[in-house]
Amino acid sequence: MAIHPIEFRYGTPEMKNIWESENKLQKMLDVESALSQAEAELDIIPKEVADEIKSKTNIKYVKLERVNQIERETNHDIAALVKGLAEQCDNNAGEYVHFGATSNDIVDSSQSLLFKESIEVLEEKVERLTKIVLDLADKNKDKVCIGRTHGQHALPTTYGMKFALWADELKRQYDRLEQSKKNLCVSMMDGAVGTTAVLGEIGWDVHKKVAEILDLPPATITNQVVQRDNHAEFMMVMANIATSLDKIALEIRNLQRTEIMEVGEYFDPEKQVGSSTMPHKMNPITAERICGVSRVVRSHVVAAMENNPLWHERDLTNSSCERIIFPEACILTDYILNLTIKLMSTLVFYDENIERNLNMTNGLIMAERLMAELTRSGMGKQTAYGIVRECAIKANKESLLLEEVILTKDKVKEFLSKEDVDKIMDPHTYIGSSQKIIDEVLKSSKNWF
């Protein structure tokens, strides 16, 4: 019976397939195969033995059910793997399986293979989402809207600015994935305390040869484990990605509020139901799910950080924790990336509401521009600020147009005509360098991927 929502509700087939038990077993077998091949090349074991081991390091021969059965007896997962593989090997080759390795050589090297596959999936989706958001920035760079600070109307901006800002952030997340892959996805074959003692001085050559066969960089130095600061870094990168997606989804949720309703997620009127009791509801459930799941991804960072300080050369406290947090974080981060791709690909704009909200404050959002133009025309900046502030407070309190109030001030008329004020009060022309900024982001993005 399914219990965890990942089993039946959350996740994509491509990421789940990486972390399912059979693939994890296959990756461990791949490491055992690489070990035997490396040792044969370095004349530690006979080549025919290595070839036999290699031929059987496949889940067609080493069955998950059998390995699990042995583990129930031995209470040791890698010992069960070794026995399960050894009993499939002919001509006594099974006697050489796992020679010179400790359990975590297999665990960490095979996890590096899993991480490498996972990061490739994540990178592809971050790239795809970034391109979607860049396209939205390009198409909406002229769509002027109200910018909000502290939840209050501030100054005009554009939807192009919003999207370009997110695209730039997503590119940084892609770069962080790349960097974490370099530190995390490494091979190790160093023995019980990292010295390769069981293989002697040639052990370091085995370590490097295994890495070459697995197409992974060799770890620079280990004790019994690849150091967990690398894993914590990866978990923090995923948490950071999840937070960027949370930011995007939260903004869409806020902009979809009934009293704002500038943009929103697509709602299928033929099939979708918003509420079991309120027939009118069209809730932002995709964005809400992104925000909710992102909290789970972030919560794993603390556990990952605590997995770094282990006793002496190593203890086992990280292991049980990592069996949970690694697949969960990868699967859930990938899942909300998928959701955000869906959200942004089908985003709905309500242009009338965008324009309505832009003009909602009767011109108060143009107070800064009034102050600046008065200053440019010769009035002192502090004086201009004081006059515009006084007029803005009056206009807000009495629900008047700021333009009308400002023109009652004789001192203002000394510097600005009614035609000047009319021009100043147009919010569509007060977007500064926004189009240049967006164009520079779009231009630089051609070299991002």
Angle between helices 103-139 and 159-184 (to 10 degrees): 160
pLDDT digits (tens, 9 = 90+) for 24-64: 999 999 999 999 999 999 999 999 999 999 999 999 999 99
Enter the CATH code of domain 361-445. 1.10.40.30
- What would the pLDDT profile of 162-199 be if each residue is shown by its tens digit? 999 999 999 999 999 999 999 999 999 999 999 999 99
Burial letters for 146-166: b for 16+ Cβ neighbours within 10 Å, e otherwise?
A: bbbeeeebebbbbbbbbbbbb
Residue 157 has a pLDDT of 98
- Residue 39 near residue 50 (C-beta atoms within 8 A): yes
- pLDDT score of 203 more than 80: yes
Is residue 275 part of the annotated active site? The answer reads yes
Distance CA 362, CA 346 (A): 32
Condensed to tens digits (0 to 9), the pLDDT of residues 61-85 reads 999 999 999 999 999 999 999 999 9
pLDDT at 280 over 90: no
Q: What is the Cβ-side half-sphere exposure of residue 101, based on CA atoms within 13 angstroms?
A: 30
Q: Do the beta carbons of residue 269 and residue 350 sit within 8 Å?
A: no
Mean residue pLDDT across the chain: 96
pLDDT level of residue 9 (50, 70, 90 thresholds): very high
384 residue type, one letter: A
Task: Evaluate whether 171 touches 448 at the Cβ level (below 8 Å).
Answer: yes
State residue 62's pLDDT score: 98
Q: What is the DSSP letter of 262?
A: S
Give, for 264, the enclosing helix (H) or strand (E). Answer: strand 263-264
pLDDT tens-digit readout, 285-335: 999 999 999 999 999 999 999 999 999 999 999 999 999 999 999 999 999
> Of the listed 4, 21, 76, 275, which one is catalytic?
275
Distance of CA 187 to the CA centre of its chain: 25
Amino acid at 253: R
The amino acid present at 275, given as its one-letter code, is S
CA–CA gap between residue 287 and residue 282 (Å, rounded): 12
Is 417 among the residues known to form the active site? no
The CATH number of the domain covering residues in 13-261+280-355: 1.20.200.10
Task: Parse the chain into domains and list their residue ranges.
Answer: 13-261+280-355, 361-445
* DSSP codes joined into one string, 268-316: -TTT--S-SS-TT----HHHHHHHHHHHHHHHHHHHHHHTSS-STT--S
d(CA 95, CA 91): 9
The tokens for 39 are 């040792």
